[in-house]
Amino acid sequence: MGFRILGTGTALPERVVTNDDLSEFLDTSDEWISQRTGIKTRHVCTTDSLDDLATRAAEEALSYAGVDASELDLIVCSTTSPDHIVPAQATAVGERIGAACPSFDVAAACAGFIFALDVADGWFARGRARRVLVVAAERYTRLMDWHDRSTCVLFGDGASAAVLGDGGEGFISVHLSTKPDLEVLEVPGLSGSSPFNVSEPRPCTLSMHGGEVFKYGVTSIVQEVRKLAADAGITPQDIDHFVFHQANGRILDSAITRLGIDGDRVVRTLADTGNISSACIPLALDKLVRTGELAAGEYVAMVGFGAGLTTGSCLLQWDEKSAGAATLAKTPSDLSD
């Protein structure tokens, strides 16, 4: 028993911060950021909480799927920037939407949505669920050192969600891996105020070796796409849509060149949202769904990579009962809502 995606949804903060806005307090410019990253704007929380964004994305996905929160058997949330250390971010979503089912988080950085799909697939395979809500919600702007132009210009906030239903056979393959490396991309934990702690506290802000992330990202995309295609007995050129983590436009360009695939088949949201960690992939998938670009029988390859160093990839074959496949009459989502 597998699953199909019944509905998707996205929520972004209202505040849009442009590259020119950043240049007001950073030694940077729109040209510098755009050429190196492909990012023009990002959405940043002001009064929004991550609970707010995650709930709005979940409600939008449930509405699209025609599923009531009372029908959910499981909620899994991918996040590494939650509003709560305890309880789980997924539990906050469940409380707000009125669900009464198990809920927990997964923390696999930018690959987290793929990890969460694999967790959900296990519940379907064991017959423990008929309806599952997967949410990816991130508020990375609170983890930034806003004096470090090499990192703070890259990230934004947002949430995206998918409602899964049992009975589909389109989840063809999934690959999860971790190549343990803490230094390439890290956010230290909270230091607390224990009177017994004599170690030097570290600031809870993100640090990253950009060159290493770049190389790892390109290599991960290329290797994972080739593995997914081999699993299905097809070539990368046979895959209809590619949904990659939106870390850097040049990573996407390099991977496209090395794979020899049509760049028009690669979904891009980076210019408008920046890097939203694990929310990037479901947000890009939601864009495909809402614009009516997915048809029954088409292959969708998704690849996430990030801190850990962690990679998650999966290949879906869209079926006629999946979101957006049976009808294209849905109005495209206004991602600024």
Cα dihedral sign, 263-269-270-271 = positive
Q: Does a structural domain hold residue 327? A: no
Tell which of 128, 149, 166 closes a domain.
166
Are 214 and 280 part of one and the same domain? yes
Residues 261 and 221: their CA atoms lie apart, in Å, by: 12
For the stretch 67-86, pLDDT in tens is 999 999 999 999 999 999 99
Residue 197 a catalytic site member: no
18 and 154 belong to one structural domain: yes
Which range marks the domain in which residue 43 is found? 3-166
Which residue's entry shows tokens 């020119």?
Answer: 20
Instruction: Band the pLDDT of 324: cuts 50, 70, 90.
Output: confident
155 and 179 fall within a common domain: no
Residue 164 DSSP symbol:
E
> In 3-state terms, what secondary structure has residue 172?
strand
Q: Are residues 38 and 152 in the same domain?
A: yes
Report the alpha-carbon angle 49-118-317, nearest 5: 105
Dump pLDDT digits (tens) for 10-52: 999 999 999 999 999 999 999 999 999 999 999 999 999 999 9
Task: Assess whether 67 and 92 both reside in one domain.
Answer: yes
Q: Which residues, at least 6 apart from 5, have a Cβ–Cβ distance to it below 8 Å? A: 162, 163, 164, 165, 285, 289, 316, 322, 323
Question: What is the crossing angle of helices 50-65 and 89-97, to 10°?
Answer: 60
Which residue among 248, 275, 280, 314 is the active-site one? 275
Q: What is the pLDDT of residues 267-316, one digit of tens each?
A: 999 999 999 999 999 999 999 999 999 999 999 999 999 998 999 999 99
Task: Note the pLDDT of residue 195.
Answer: 87
| 275 catalytic per annotation | yes
Residues 289 and 157 in one domain: no
The pLDDT of residue 138 is 98
Residues 36 and 161 in one domain: yes
**pTM, to two decimals:** 0.93
| Set 77, 152, 245, 314: catalytic member | 245
Residues 95 and 33 in one domain: yes
Total domains present in the chain: 2
129 and 234 share one domain: no
45 has catalytic annotation: no
pLDDT of residue 210: 87
Residue 199 CA to residue 196 CA, distance in Å, equals: 9
CATH code for the domain in which residue 96 is found: 3.40.47.10
Q: Does one domain contain both 7 and 63?
A: yes
Catalytic residue among 110, 152, 280, 314: 110
Q: Does 147 map to a domain?
A: yes
Question: Do 198 and 139 fall within a single domain?
Answer: no
Q: What is the pLDDT of residue 1?
A: 57
pLDDT in tens, 170-218: 899 999 999 998 888 888 888 788 888 888 888 888 888 889 999 999 9
Both 52 and 181 in a single domain?
no
Per-residue model confidence (pLDDT) at position 231 = 96
d(CA 11, CA 13): 7
Residue 236 predicted with pLDDT over 60: yes
